[in-house]
Structure 1
Amino acid sequence: MSQFEAFNITCKDGYSLSARLYPAQTEQKHSYPILICPATGITKQFYGSFASWLCEQGYDVLVFDFRGIGDSLHGQLSKSTASIVQWGQLDIPAAVDTLLQKTNAEKVILLGHSAGGQLLGIVPNYEKVAKVVAVSGSTGHVKGLKGRTKLLAPLMFKAIFPIARYTLGYGPTNAIGMGENLPKDVAREWAQFCSKPGYVMNAIGKTVHDDFHQNIQAPITALWSSDDEIATRANVKDLLRLYPNATTEMIELKPSQYGHKGIGHMLMFKKSHQNLWPVIEQQLSA
């Protein structure tokens, strides 16, 4: 396991995020460092093995916890005011700037997992992103879901989250196997954004007043698995259509082609599925 530097990132509003920098382990390193932006409710530790592997391929890699999640939760979860909009408007920009400062690079490559790849359109310093590789990246629109998730999501969004907001003060996702429990506004926005096509576009003109989707020209590649119940073909297309001036590409992986029974929404970053890592890296270096 490669060594990493643990430190804190200070956002524009003064909020402190917990981060790790994995320095490149090769003499020759890639020009652009990698910023790993996590999925909803997933901590930076989840990406540790993958980040270590990337730095062995010659990349500087930064991964962090979004505010309200993991080590970036300060105080009681029920009192957290973190939101998905803040993740895009404050957390990702601060992480981009910090990675550039630490590596002296001109731009970063944003490797977003699920929600981590959905927010570039509201990131103010989007021009510092050279390309996006969105793993399991989609809008998560409820009508585009499939399988067990198609049944669970409406229950979670319309019943569990609204009730828990007032009884617990947070979104109880851990109990249903969907990562860390969520700050109440993250849970509320997740339900709101997935209820209609376009994800964060549903906040434009309401809680978001700076929309950069039309401005973005960095190439965007979405990688997803055919057995993913959230990032389905329809929902991946729904995400990429939001960036009309970017070159976009969709790459569907079939578990059987790589010797796996399943990949789903979460397993691409697991050691058990590390034969998929070169597939991801090929898009990073393309």
Structure 2
Amino acid sequence: MNTFESLWISCKDGYQLAAQYYPTEKSTKEFPILICPATGITKNFYHAFAEWLNQQGYNVLSFDFRGIGQSLHGKLKDSNASINDWGQLDIPAAIEVLLNRTQSEKVIIIGHSAGGQLLGINPHYNKVAKVLAIAGSTGHVKGLKGKTKLLAPLMFNVIFPVSSFIKGYGATQFIGMGENLPKNVAKQWAEFCSKPGYVMNAIGKTIFDDYHQEIQIPITSFWATDDEIATETNVQDLLRLYPNAQTKFIELNPHKYGYKQIGHMAMFKKSHHKLWPLLEKELAI
């Protein structure tokens, strides 16, 4: 028996996003959960976590950003998807669908990496009750550590430009960084991470609606001490973008919870389910 319903989300510009809705027979929670994925990661990666949240009484919706997974229509090299689109069109459309399904007034966003970084350009920010930013940071290259600090400049300055020119997309799959990316996503990812502030680097250039100052809701950021991307420096860099929000910063040491590593990705894996109640505790408004 399927625990979810497959559906399509229609964005303001008509683009169709593939989604999975996990309904409860009778929700015991005030707000439903919208899971917003990391760059190049599909909704299927969050399936076990979504099921678990569902069992706790939450209605849950997960989806693929345009150009990723089942939300890629046609050939990747022909995709014009951008990170701007993800924040300004995709997430707002997903919010609308979840609100319509649940008849709720607001949603809670659990955003993984990029999925937790785009609230400030989301025109439906006032329909969000709270954000849990999991491994959410600006990803600024100077704030990275470990092997990623060495890999990122190579990926941004060599792999992305070369693969975009030759193949028409940003090659990430062969280095274990999720699905290959639409060329505009790859280009923006490199640009956004080249300076502090991530998406703020596009304000006034390709993004002209900035809501960071207006946001006053609680934003809780979870980061693992062994995460080479969402380091303490980069997590703090993200939280500073919301000067009027109620920000909270939660550090997770993998050894404290019996894990060898958590890193940037493992928090949503079934093997790390012992961490999930820590996340759920922060869902309370």
TM-score range, shorter chain: over 0.9
Give how far 1:24 is off. 2.3
Indicate the residue corresponding to 2:24 in structure 1: 24
Counterparts of 1:46-65 in structure 2, within 5 Å, are 46-65=45-64
Structure-2 separation of matches of 1:28 and 1:156? 44
Matched, 1:224 2:229: no
Contact 1:20 1:62 in 2 (8 A): yes
SS class of match (2:151): helix
Indicate the residue corresponding to 2:195 in structure 1: 196
Structure-1 separation of matches of 2:181 and 2:79? 9
Tell me the TM-score normalised to structure 2 length.
0.99
Count of aligned positions: 285
Structure-1 separation of matches of 2:27 and 2:92? 27
Cα offsets for 1:67-117 (capped at 9, x unmatched)? 000000000000000000000000000000110000000100010000000
Structure-1 separation of matches of 2:217 and 2:72? 31
Indicate the residue corresponding to 2:90 in structure 1: 91
Structure-2 separation of matches of 1:273 and 1:24? 24
For 1:130, the aligned partner's letter is A
Indicate the residue corresponding to 1:13 in structure 2: 13
Closer/same/farther in 2, CA of residues 12 and 260 from structure 1, 3 Å limit = same
Counterparts of 1:1-286 in structure 2, within 5 Å, are 3-24=3-24, 27-286=26-285
Contact 1:11 1:94 in 2 (8 A): yes
Contact 1:84 1:186 in 2 (8 A): yes
Give how far 1:128 is off. 0.1
Closer/same/farther in 2, CA of residues 54 and 2 from structure 1, 3 Å limit = farther
Moved more, 27-36 or 107-116: 27-36
Give how far 1:2 is off. 5.9
SS class of match (2:283): helix
Identical-residue share of aligned pairs (%) = 67
For 1:101, the aligned partner's letter is N
Structure-1 separation of matches of 2:139 and 2:97? 29
Contact 1:134 1:223 in 2 (8 A): yes
Closer/same/farther in 2, CA of residues 87 and 193 from structure 1, 3 Å limit = same
Tell me the TM-score normalised to structure 1 length.
0.98
For 1:23, the aligned partner's letter is P
Structure 1: stretches of 5+ with no match in the other structure: none
Contact 2:140 2:196 in 1 (8 A): yes
For 1:273, the aligned partner's letter is H
Give how far 1:28 is off. 4.9
Closer/same/farther in 2, CA of residues 143 and 210 from structure 1, 3 Å limit = same
Contact 1:114 1:134 in 2 (8 A): yes
Structure-2 separation of matches of 1:252 and 1:271? 20
Give how far 1:232 is off. 0.2
SS class of match (1:39): coil
Structure 2: stretches of 5+ with no match in the other structure: none
Contact 2:27 2:59 in 1 (8 A): no
Contact 1:139 1:194 in 2 (8 A): yes
SS class of match (2:131): strand
Structure-2 separation of matches of 1:44 and 1:28? 22
For 2:31, the aligned partner's letter is Y
Structure-1 separation of matches of 2:210 and 2:142? 25
Structure-2 separation of matches of 1:143 and 1:32? 37
Runs of 4+ in 1 over 2 A off after TM superposition: none
For 2:127, the aligned partner's letter is K
For 1:208, the aligned partner's letter is I
SS class of match (1:221): strand
Contact 1:24 1:57 in 2 (8 A): no
Contact 1:2 1:52 in 2 (8 A): no
